[in-house]
């Protein structure tokens, strides 16, 4: 039977997340959001995450779909592919979320509610608004990098967002269509910044709700030097409206 509730699709990019993915789907099944769907976008993970995703699609208590891609192509590309598929399949709200359990699934109901009851075009699960936090031990290097990245992009692009690089967000489908997600090219942290920049440039509002961010317990971050370099250049590229390649 068709549900009257908005269709909420959680898009989860995965690369080597076989330990984390079943736990994440389990958590999502328990948050009590009606008409919740999960779309896993796997880039042919060598650890077999794609097979784990297929098993979840067959057995999970909530609808799980899998988009298999042939090779590792970056987080941004995976999100673009996943978001376009979610929109194609009628999502009203699209949630972006990491697979590594660093983003608290329990906050999704509040994010969806905030979208429904305010003029927010997108709601960010934010570490840096009052009530937000980073749990566990982040080394000084990671803290400094995150603080610097936020100061840097806000200074250049005037986004006025406390957690501009956050990867946990709930979008109205209409916002994603308006910002033309298909044309977004940046791939690492810069992907999040470019999405925010397009939202603000189109005169739409970003709202942040606090989250407690957990450091991943299993697997490793895929952040590379190339991702950091892209993030350093991207705000200038956006400011001057040009592509740097």
- Residues near ligand GDD, by CB under 6 A: 13-15, 17, 41-43, 72-75, 78, 98-100, 165-167, 189, 192, 221-223
Q: Which long-range contacts (CB under 8 A, 24 or more apart) does 161-165 make?
A: 161/124, 161/126, 161/196, 161/206, 161/208, 162/126, 162/128, 162/129, 162/132, 162/208, 163/124, 163/126, 163/127, 163/128, 163/129, 163/132, 163/208, 164/192, 164/193, 164/196, 165/189, 165/192, 165/193, 165/231
C-alpha 122: how far from chain center: 11
CB 35 within 8 A of CB 119: no
**Around 169, how many Cα atoms within 13 Å sit in the side-chain half-sphere?**
26
- In the complex, minimum distance from the CB of residue 18 to ligand GDD, in angstroms, rounded to a whole number: 10
Helices 140-157 and 189-201 pack at an angle, to 10 degrees, of 30
Residue 23 vs 72, nearer CB to ligand GDD: 72
- In the complex, minimum distance from the CB of residue 240 to ligand GDD, in angstroms, rounded to a whole number: 22
- Ranked by CB distance to ligand GDD, the top (closest) residue is 167
Cα 198 from Cα 178, distance rounded (Å): 9
- In the complex, minimum distance from the CB of residue 4 to ligand GDD, in angstroms, rounded to a whole number: 31
Residue 120 vs 188, nearer CB to ligand GDD: 188
Picking from 176, 172, 192, 173, the residue whose alpha carbon sits closest to that of residue 118 is 172
- In the complex, minimum distance from the CB of residue 139 to ligand GDD, in angstroms, rounded to a whole number: 13
- In the complex, minimum distance from the CB of residue 117 to ligand GDD, in angstroms, rounded to a whole number: 26
Residue 43 vs 92, nearer CB to ligand GDD: 43
- Determine what percent of the chain falls in helix, strand and coil, rounding each to the nearest 5: 40, 20, 40
Q: What are phi and psi of 63, to 5 degrees?
A: -65, 125
- In the complex, minimum distance from the CB of residue 215 to ligand GDD, in angstroms, rounded to a whole number: 9
Sequence-distant (6+) residues with CB within 8 A of 203 are none
Residue 132 vs 172, nearer CB to ligand GDD: 132
Residue 34 vs 226, nearer CB to ligand GDD: 226
Residue 166 vs 209, nearer CB to ligand GDD: 166
Residue 33 vs 211, nearer CB to ligand GDD: 211
- In the complex, minimum distance from the CB of residue 149 to ligand GDD, in angstroms, rounded to a whole number: 8
């Amino acid at each position: 039977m068709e549900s009257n509730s908005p269709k909420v699709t959680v898009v989860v990019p995965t690369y080597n997340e076989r330990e984390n993915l079943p736990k994440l789907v389990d958590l999502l099944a328990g948050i009590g959001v009606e008409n919740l769907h999960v779309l896993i976008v796997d880039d042919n993970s060598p650890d077999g995450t794609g097979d784990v995703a297929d098993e979840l699609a067959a057995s999970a208590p909530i609808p799980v779909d899998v988009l298999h891609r042939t090779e590792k192509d970056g987080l941004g590309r995976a999100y673009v592919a996943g978001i376009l598929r979610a929109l194609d399949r009628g999502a009203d709200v699209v949630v972006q979320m990491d697979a590594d359990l660093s983003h608290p699934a329990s906050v999704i109901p509040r994010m969806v509610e905030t979208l429904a009851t305010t003029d927010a075009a997108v709601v960010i699960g934010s570490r840096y608004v009052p009530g937000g936090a980073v749990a566990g031990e982040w080394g000084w290097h990671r803290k400094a990098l995150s603080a610097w990245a936020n100061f840097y992009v806000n200074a250049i692009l005037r986004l006025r967002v406390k957690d501009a690089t956050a990867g946990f967000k709930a979008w109205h489908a209409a916002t994603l269509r308006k910002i033309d997600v298909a044309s977004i090219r940046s791939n690492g942290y810069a992907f999040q910044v470019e999405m925010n920049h397009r939202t603000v440039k189109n005169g739409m509002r970003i709202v942040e709700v606090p989250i407690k961010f957990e450091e991943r317990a299993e697997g490793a971050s895929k952040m590379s030097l190339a991702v950091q370099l892209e993030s350093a250049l991207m705000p200038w590229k956006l400011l001057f409206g040009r592509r740097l390649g």
